[in-house]
Every structure is written in structure tokens, then in C-alpha cells.
Structure 1
């Protein structure tokens, strides 16, 4: 090879190397830019949701083998994820109050609303338990006002929505049917609804001012309003049930059944009421529910095209508020300490010691040991032979070992009182027949009587043998003294037969009767010695 050829070849080789290097660099630069452009093309919106908190500010539960829950840990997780994305809204799907432990219930659930205010929840909807103490008390917690027990309260900073709680006088929704929030130039419409079962679970006197209407109709009517305003991102906060496997498969519940009937412009539905896990898609709608009591939260991530303002991608996670992975939020700890101090030491008093756990759940025969114990305590305190208790009266089983006043107020939190009624034998039988409807079974727990029933008999004719504790047949026209909660006495849980009874005496709170029973039957060892 000549010297000229060698130089020429070397020049060509250098040129090729430079050219290839340039193309590789250019390709890498363009690929990176494309990725960057793609990731920034869409607006990343995060929704963090909670449901069915029930004022569980200072209560913890096991989730998948780890301790979770408690306001200070829930707050820490919400703040952590909110810091990761400035385009974040905090939402809840109802029952944030009601059935609460003493740290909240003894102050009319104001501490729980303070907690939500501390975290700056953006949008919420009432569940059925927000109505436990009536419409006016619900409105006071939301809008602020005076209560004779606690004085003036400033109310919630959260914007509340409910499209199907209708004021009977005006015929319009009691609360705004929708709330619009803007995030990074995108308008997001939120629609709140509560289960129609509220008509069954809230006593008639506490919902007499309102009518709970069909959820799907209320949602679709409100969606039309939002669509007319040009809003294309619509989220429903529904205090209705949903459930799925962790994979999203085998989804069930009211919202899964409703989803095909709900306007397709609805993109995401936050569920509640059933305290289950849900992370599934039904009829194109992403449905999530994060258990209950603050032991988990729902994280929904949306990618939105800023030009069309349409969601192009949506995904969700249910995140347990595990204590192992985060430190408690200091602001929330200070709030809890304030109310612990105000609560005092009376609730720490040990009133009994249980030799074994008393289960809340019903056995194969439909019997709940804890409900039976409550019924017995009501029978004793009112001096009658017969007592009835509904399954919703208690929230948790009674643990083995020492029992404090706080334990009982937490397990039996509803604040119901005991009533003595006079019922005929026919009315007692009717109450028992009302345990079964075409849609569900809702078993009463009884003491002082026994009965046989036929599962295959027509609804309304299932009770075939009904006797008192002495074995005497309950006579249809005879009158009997019966103890029930004031909730059942007013027809709660659709047991309207009790409304037909004659009220002859009002007694102490149900929890007070239970405390007396345990003190007498299961005193602490120190009292025995």
C-alpha cells in the first residue's frame, strides 16, 4: 500500500468513526428528548382517598401481618405522597365520623374534623354515619355551629358534596351536588352520593328532613351538568360498596353493579361503606376502596392530556399505613395529645377481666356471643324477661383479659340508650320475621325467648315455634315487656315492628348497661381478692 493510500484510508476510517459517534450521540439525545417530551406531555394528577375512618384517631389494626392505622400514621403517608406530586387532591368517601372511640365521640367528633382540616382534605361526601345524630348535627360539623355539649365549632374546611341527599322542604340537594377543583389548568368535577341503605341504617327521626334518592340517577343527572360546563374529568365519591381481589378480579358490590348504568364520562369512583379492599375496573370506571379505619389509603394516578383535557391513563394502588415504614406525623401527634388530655383518665379505668374473647361475629347458627351479652345486660338493667339487639350495635369483639371503659365505648360506640317497650306476641313475631327480606338476612340477637324457623318458608312466615324462657308459647294477643335500644324502638334497621310497641321507660346508655353487667359478672382479679 502506498503512503497516499494509507493516509486516505486512515482519513476515511476517522471520518466513519466521527460520523458513527455523532449519529449515536444524536440518537441518544433525540431518544431522551422524546421520552422527556412524552412524560411531560400529560398532566400527572394524584388523588389520595380515605373511606370509613369512623373517628379512629388512636386505634390500630393488623393488615397483612403488620400494624397499621392511627391518625398520626395515616397523616404521615398522606403528607409523604402529597409531597411527591404537587398536583394532588385529598378526598374521602364518607363515614369519617360516627361509631367513633371516646377520643372523638366524647367531643361530638370534632377532633376528627380537626384532623381532616389539619391535612387540608379537599373534597368529601357524607356517609350514612354522618347522619347518626341528625341532619342539623351533620350540617354543624360541616359548616360550623354551636352544640350544647362542646360549644361553638368552626366546621370543616373540606368541600362537601352529595347529589342524592335531598331536602324534603325545598326538593333540592341538601349539599352541593358537585364540587369543581382546578389543578394545573384542568377542571375536575367531583360528585358525592350516599347509599340508599341509609334509609335503613339511620333512625327515622334523624333523617326525617331529608330523602335519600337513587344513586345512579343522581350521578347521571349531575354528570350532565358538568358535561354542559365542558368538564371531562369526573370523579364520584360514593359511600357505596365495592370489593375485589388484589388482582382486580372477581369484583362485586353495589358500585360494580351500578357501573354499566353510570354515564361513561365518569372516570373514577371512590367506594366505601363495606370496609373492603377494591381496586378494579368495571364498565371502564376505575373503582377503589381502602378497607376502613385509616389502615389504608387509595392512591389514584391520572394522566391527562392538557389539550383535550381527557384522561389518557389511570391506575391505582391501595397502600396500607404500616407503622414499619414511616414515622408518625408530629402535628397529628400534638392534636391527639391535646384530646387525650381533655379526655382524662376515667376511660382508662379497668372495669372487668374477660376469661376469653367474646366474639362479635355470628356463628353458623346466626348467634353472636357479644350481642347476646349486650342483650342480657339490657334485660337486667330494665328488669324484663326479653331483650333484642341488632348486629350493628357493636363494632368489635371483646378481647380476653382486662377491659377498660374505653374498650367498651370503642366496641359499643353508637351512643344508643335502652328502652323498655310493651309488645304483643304478634308484634314480637313480626319483628323476628323482619330478619329476612328478599335481598338480605339481618339477624336479631335475643335473650328470654326461643324460636324455630324454616329457611325455605316464604318470607314473613318463617317463624314456626316461639316460646318464652319458661317454655311457654308466646301468645299473639298477650303483652310482654321487652328491652331494646332506642334505635330499634324507632324502627332502625327496618325493624318497624318495634315502632308498634308502647314505650314505658327509657333507661341508660347501652354501653352503661354493659359496663354494669361486666363489673358484676367479670370483675378484675384485684376486686375478687
Structure 2
């Protein structure tokens, strides 16, 4: 219960009595009707602006139509997101630096979003100076997001100030609704560390709790919604609060937070968990929604809170997931008519991208693929023809006038599609679009000097490690990422068990493994630990991305 509004009402009553008006003669005050506050949520959109005929992605025009239909039925609505709206996008958005996605979400009425890791793919300055800055046809033609980005746990390293706003508040029908943002604590391993060198990533729980308390106690906010770019490891509501980093968020975020809208793991779930403080206070609502809309604009989360505008108390709530397509492989199977404001934005993006994407780069003899597991999904721990090919291209393309490169490495997470080409007769040609779909990130190449001992350390960092060499607890970031390597470089290793790692939030410790490199060769000659070698990698790896910290010591 928020007391500020009750104090205000009490003071009004005192004022009436002092002025000589009879409180007894006045008609009895009638309690205000509850206000239904509607939160529409999305996450991990990743520039899926087209209605895809072979997937459940409905496209920006359909998503916008659904949001506007829900808003028309209840004007007390906020369209919010949990991050990764841009970055790792489809070609139509990627080739225009995600400007089509920004324009489409502006037209759809997005109002607030947590910062996701992909919002920082091009660094903090790009987020602030392009994406979040006002559109200007000359000075900022590719930016202009009209929604607010929030992240309470991102601070400027030098000053401790907020790197982006910690929260955003909207008043609707006498109810103040605050949105507190946060981004995954694994951010430094997911983007180029150089791009966020000035940023400190703090605890999600501590940061959100502090900001929620400030909103409730100082800003008199009635309803607090957490937008967090972190998510559950599975869709099983019965177990996601048992242990691990996600359970820590569910269980330890303060009772000032009325709902958790999440993302990052690309899973759709519609869960709720009891909050002990609410139970103890005998509140009408005692369980807190914990939701995610999955990925790529396939679904929306819908939360409705019935709030007493006088006290700020939540009297009732409902929650649901809305499917934007009724089937997964037909553009026609949607109950929504595409938003006419968004349709031309998407079409212009297609018109720009098509001639660029159709350019033929050259022939390939056969497909180059990522590693796969038995069910056909991507395996970032397996050696792949595609990863090795990209590494070899990076080595071969390092300019000779810069000394060339002897070895190159490629991280598997930078490969987002297979390199299959298009077969016409006896020729399999690769287009610019197909190549760009493989590597949609704007990473340049960095050439550096590394000793043989440093190369060995990098290879052993394929098993998750922190900068000081200790193992990262399983579940926090990753277990094993196999680097693609250029032609002529080979190595052997043995995998050995490491001490079990405690699980955050309790539970059974996790068995872990580490790698011990037993030999390395370049063109058949042993790598000498003290000798220096010329190595090329993309800027993400060179900055220590994906926990390959030793690259930073080159």
C-alpha cells in the first residue's frame, strides 16, 4: 500500500474542516473505480520486420496492428520491451543499420525498453549518439528511437552516474507506473569489451531493488514493472525459481516490483510466483507475473493490473501470451490486418535491400555449415567447416603491407546462418545477402602479435574462464565455445574434470570440465611458447569477447 495518496486525502479533509465546512454535512466520499493498467510486452525482436512465410515471425506491421488494437480497447496501455530490438537482425534491417526497425517500432508506439546486449553491439557511444539520439536527416539519419531505454545496473565507471536512465514513469488515469530496466550481468562477455570500456555492469537485483525503492518512496509510483534483458533457462514455471541466476532474480527482487518482463533466452513463458511480503500483508494479489514473449515478434505478453487510484493498491491482475500468427509457416495466418503506417516502412527496407543482396560474390563448390547436434540445432562447441573457412578468409585478407597473418581465429557466435549459396545448373553462387546473413555484425578485423604461450591460453579459454583464469560457474555464461581456426594451424587437447562449482541461489553444485592443450603446430612445425606470431581476429574477439580475455593482452 502506498501511503502518500492517503495522506493527501487526509490533509484535504483537515483543510475542509478548518475552512468552516462541515465534514458531516458533506455527502459521503465514493471510492474511485479501479483503473485497469495494461502492459504489452515484447523482447528479442532482432529486426524481424518482415512477416516470414516459413516461421512464426509475424513482422513489424502485424505486431504494430496487435498493439494498437489492444491500446484502442484500453487507452491506459504501455507498449514495453525487454531489449535486443536491434542487432543480429534480418538482412532487410541489418543492411540499413537497423533504421527500418527503429522506424517501425516508433510507428508501433513503443514507449520504453530495457537495454539488451545487442543494443551495444556497436558500443555504448553508438547507442547514445545514434540509436537514442533524435533523428536528424543530416546529423543522425540512421537513428532516432523515440522510446526510452532504461538500465539501472549500467553505470559510468568514472563517476558512478547512470549510463542510461535507470527508470521511466508514465501516469495513466491517476495511476503512476514506473519501469525499471536491467541488462544481463554477462554483458562484458557478449559484446566487444572495448565498446563498453567506460561502463560498469552492476548487480541486477541490487540495482533494480534500489531504483524500485526510490520510485515507490520518493516518486510515489503506484505500480513498478521490471524490464530485464535476462531470462529463464527453460519454460517450466515449476522449476525456474529453484536455483541459478534466474532464480536469484525471481526470488530476491524486492516486493516493490509488481511484475518482471524478461528476455534474452528467446523462450516464451507466462509464469507467476508468490511474494512473501504480499502474502504477509494479505494483499488481494499475492503472486508476481514473470513473463517473456519469446523471440522475433512471434508473440506478445499482456499484463493487466486493476489498481485503486486512491491508494495505489493492486486489486486484481491477469496475464496471457498472445500469438501473432495462428500457424508457423504462412503469412496469411494472422487475425490482424497489417498496420498501414508500418507497411511502407517495411517495403522501403525491402526495396533498398533487394538489389544489394542480389549481388553475386562468386561461386562456392558446396555449402559451409555450422556444427550441429543430433536434432539439427546449432552446436557452438563443435568444429565447423564454416568457422574454419571464415578464420582462413580473415588470415588471407590481412594486408601483406601490414605483415600479413600466420593464424586467425573466429568465434562461433558470430556465425548466424549456414553459407549455402544458390544452385543454378552446375553452379552454386553466393550472394551478398547470403554472406551477410552468415556474419551480420559490423566487426572489423584486428591484427596483433601473440606469443605461443598466449595462443595456448586463448585455446584453453574455450572452456569458460574469468580474466584471472578461474572457471565461470556453469549456467552464468557458457560451457565450451570452439574457435574456428585458419588453415595450417592445428592443436591437440585433453578435457579434464574440474572441481564442482556452487550454483547461485543454492542447489546441487555443477560438475565442470577444463581443457588442457597438449600440443600446437603451424604448418607442421611446433608452436614455440616464447616466439611471437601474427594473429588476426574480429574486433569482438580482439576485445576479449566471449570470455577470451587473453586477446586483450596482445
Same fold, TM exceeding 0.5? yes
Report deviation, 1:111.
2.2
Question: Conserved in 2, the CA contact under 8 Å of 1:368 and 1:445?
Answer: no
Question: Conserved in 1, the CA contact under 8 Å of 2:134 and 2:146?
Answer: no
Whether 1:95 aligns to 2:84 is yes
- What are structure 1's unaligned runs of at least 5 residues? 1-37, 502-529
State the SS of the aligned residue for 1:377. helix
Question: Conserved in 2, the CA contact under 8 Å of 1:243 and 1:278?
Answer: no
> Once structures 1 and 2 are overlaid, which stretch shifts more, 373-382 or 156-165?
373-382
Q: Render the CA deviation track for 1:471-502: whole Å, top value 9, x for unaligned.
A: 5443211233333112211222221211222x
Q: Render the CA deviation track for 1:62-120: whole Å, top value 9, x for unaligned.
A: 55xxx433222222222232223222210011111122234333333222221121111
Name 2:541's counterpart in structure 1: 488
State the SS of the aligned residue for 1:45. strand
Name 2:455's counterpart in structure 1: 428
Question: Conserved in 1, the CA contact under 8 Å of 2:175 and 2:222?
Answer: no
Whether 1:277 aligns to 2:302 is no
Whether 1:451 aligns to 2:489 is no
Report deviation, 1:330.
2.3
Report deviation, 1:427.
0.4
Whole-Å Cα distance in 2 between the matches of residues 219 and 348 of structure 1? 46
Name 1:42's counterpart in structure 2: 34
> Once structures 1 and 2 are overlaid, which stretch shifts more, 275-284 or 48-57?
275-284
Question: Relative to 1, partners in 2 of residues 1:346 and 1:145: Cα closer, same or farther, differing over 3 Å?
Answer: closer
Name 2:356's counterpart in structure 1: 346
Question: Conserved in 1, the CA contact under 8 Å of 2:216 and 2:222?
Answer: yes
Report deviation, 1:307.
3.9
Whether 1:396 aligns to 2:417 is yes
Whole-Å Cα distance in 1 between the matches of residues 293 and 382 of structure 2? 28
- What are structure 2's unaligned runs of at least 5 residues? 1-30, 275-286, 326-330, 373-377, 399-403, 424-429, 464-470, 500-511
Whole-Å Cα distance in 2 between the matches of residues 54 and 465 of structure 1? 40
Whether 1:359 aligns to 2:351 is no
Whether 1:334 aligns to 2:362 is no
Name 1:168's counterpart in structure 2: 157
Question: Relative to 1, partners in 2 of residues 1:117 and 1:214: Cα closer, same or farther, differing over 3 Å?
Answer: same
Among residues 198, 207, 223, which one is paired with 1:233 in the alignment? Answer: 223
Report deviation, 1:244.
4.2
More helix by proportion, 1 or 2? 1
Name 1:53's counterpart in structure 2: 45
Higher Cα radius of gyration: 1
> Once structures 1 and 2 are overlaid, which stretch shifts more, 399-408 or 229-238?
399-408
Whole-Å Cα distance in 1 between the matches of residues 355 and 318 of structure 2? 46
Q: Render the CA deviation track for 1:168-227: whole Å, top value 9, x for unaligned.
A: 343211222221111222111110111121122222221122211111111111111112
Question: Conserved in 1, the CA contact under 8 Å of 2:168 and 2:178?
Answer: yes
Question: Relative to 1, partners in 2 of residues 1:145 and 1:89: Cα closer, same or farther, differing over 3 Å?
Answer: closer
Question: Relative to 1, partners in 2 of residues 1:363 and 1:213: Cα closer, same or farther, differing over 3 Å?
Answer: closer
Name 2:306's counterpart in structure 1: 303
Task: Give the structure-2-normalised TM-score.
Answer: 0.75
Whole-Å Cα distance in 1 between the matches of residues 266 and 520 of structure 2? 37
Whether 1:119 aligns to 2:119 is no
Aligned length: 459
Note the 1:465-484 alignment, pairs <5 A.
Answer: 465-468=518-521, 470-484=523-537
State the SS of the aligned residue for 1:129. helix
Question: Relative to 1, partners in 2 of residues 1:433 and 1:409: Cα closer, same or farther, differing over 3 Å?
Answer: same
Name 1:523's counterpart in structure 2: none
Whole-Å Cα distance in 1 between the matches of residues 84 and 381 of structure 2? 30
Name 1:380's counterpart in structure 2: 396
Question: Relative to 1, partners in 2 of residues 1:78 and 1:373: Cα closer, same or farther, differing over 3 Å?
Answer: farther
Whole-Å Cα distance in 2 between the matches of residues 163 and 303 of structure 1? 26
Report deviation, 1:157.
1.9
Report deviation, 1:411.
2.9
Whether 1:413 aligns to 2:440 is yes
Whole-Å Cα distance in 2 between the matches of residues 200 and 308 of structure 1? 44
State the SS of the aligned residue for 1:452. strand
Whole-Å Cα distance in 2 between the matches of residues 301 and 157 of structure 1? 24
Note the 1:110-259 alignment, pairs <5 A.
Answer: 110-140=99-129, 141-144=131-134, 151-152=140-141, 155-228=144-217, 229-245=219-235, 248-251=237-240, 254-259=245-250
Name 1:16's counterpart in structure 2: none
Question: Relative to 1, partners in 2 of residues 1:484 and 1:357: Cα closer, same or farther, differing over 3 Å?
Answer: closer
Whole-Å Cα distance in 2 between the matches of residues 343 and 261 of structure 1? 46
State the SS of the aligned residue for 2:41. strand
Whole-Å Cα distance in 2 between the matches of residues 376 and 285 of structure 1? 51
Whole-Å Cα distance in 1 between the matches of residues 441 and 51 of structure 2? 17
Whole-Å Cα distance in 1 between the matches of residues 414 and 107 of structure 2? 31
